[in-house]
Structure 1
Amino acid sequence: MRNEFDFAPLYRSSIGFDRVFNLLNNAQRFQAVDTWPPYDIVKAGEDEYRITMAVAGFAEEDLSVTHERNVLVIAGAKPDKEDMQYLHHGIAGRSFERRFELADHVKVLGASLKNGLLSVELKREIPEEMKPRRIAIGMNEAKQTKEETGPLQIEGEKQVA
């Protein structure tokens, strides 16, 4: 049994959360769960994250890490070696593409490949203008400017007599 939630009431009382509702709607849809390659997502600090993906058999040139707007795409493709004849082929080397939705202001710091594990370091960096700030209580800026300059007067054209 699958429950589908209706987010329509939230659209009436919230502004600017369209992307969040779209993500929730997309998560509700049935998607085939692809478990290869396996990966971990770790919260490494207050605003730091790490994605570690097991990519045994892939070299650095076989992998690509791309940061598009709010999406991290990790893809891997190995060139076919047609001159090989496998008696048993147990190491998966098929192409893959894994997408991760990123929140606003999450930056990719770098990626490294060591011992068959691809690690991608991420950090959320909120701009200064978006951080909470204390607002002083008092006159607003428009009133202060008006009082400092005095009342506005409209000057008419001067005629020489």
Structure 2
Amino acid sequence: MRNFDLAPLYRATVGFDRIADLMDRALVGDAAPTYPPYNIEKTAENSYRISIAVAGFAPEDLAVEVKDTTLHITARKAPETVERTYLHRGIATRAFERKFALADHVKVSGAIHEHGMLHIDLVRETPEALKPRRIEIARGDVRTVEATVSEPIDA
């Protein structure tokens, strides 16, 4: 396996620590947890949905939180009060914690628990200051300058 040195990236940039940290985590090669299974879907131009299989968990057993730019999903099943004897137990209800790094300006717009799935809807809300805008170019001739001073110009 190759090792990448990201030190030059840290020396040559300012304010990109988060991107370097994401790359560092991606290159470490830790085995990503496989429980519970999930999907990430792009539902529109600026919206996404994370769907997590949470069979056996009630909505009150689940927690969805956003801390800084990380989405945390945790599940803690309350201990069963009734003693059961399973012949086969294939539905895992073990506790889990799943984390997703969110890009800038991505917000959680809602979460719903239905049919054994937890759906978390996300939307990218670009601030007005970052959206492209057209800048009007004024003419440098005297006539236009006089017109803007003396009378409004119809657009």
Equivalent positions of 1:1-161 (< 5 A) are 2-82=1-81, 83-135=83-135
> Aligned partner of 2:3: which letter?
E
Deviations 1:53-99 (A, max 9, x none): 11111110111111111000011111111522323222111000000
Structure 2 unaligned spans of 5+ = 139-155
CA distance in 1 between counterparts of 2:12 and 2:115 reads 50
Partner SS for 1:24: helix
Shift >6 Å, 4+ stretches: none
> Aligned partner of 1:31: which letter?
D
Q: 1:16 to 1:136 in 2, by over 3 A?
A: farther
| Percent identical residues | 51
Structure 1 unaligned spans of 5+ = 139-161
> Aligned partner of 1:130: which letter?
L
CA distance in 1 between counterparts of 2:126 and 2:92 reads 39
More off after superposition, 55-64 vs 80-89: 80-89
CA distance in 1 between counterparts of 2:57 and 2:102 reads 25
Q: Number of residue pairs matched? A: 137
More off after superposition, 22-31 vs 98-107: 22-31
CA distance in 1 between counterparts of 2:29 and 2:125 reads 32
> Aligned partner of 1:36: which letter?
Y
- Normalised by the length of structure 1, the TM-score is 0.77
Partner SS for 1:61: helix
CA distance in 2 between counterparts of 1:25 and 1:15 reads 16
Q: CA deviation at 1:135?
A: 4.8
- Normalised by the length of structure 2, the TM-score is 0.80
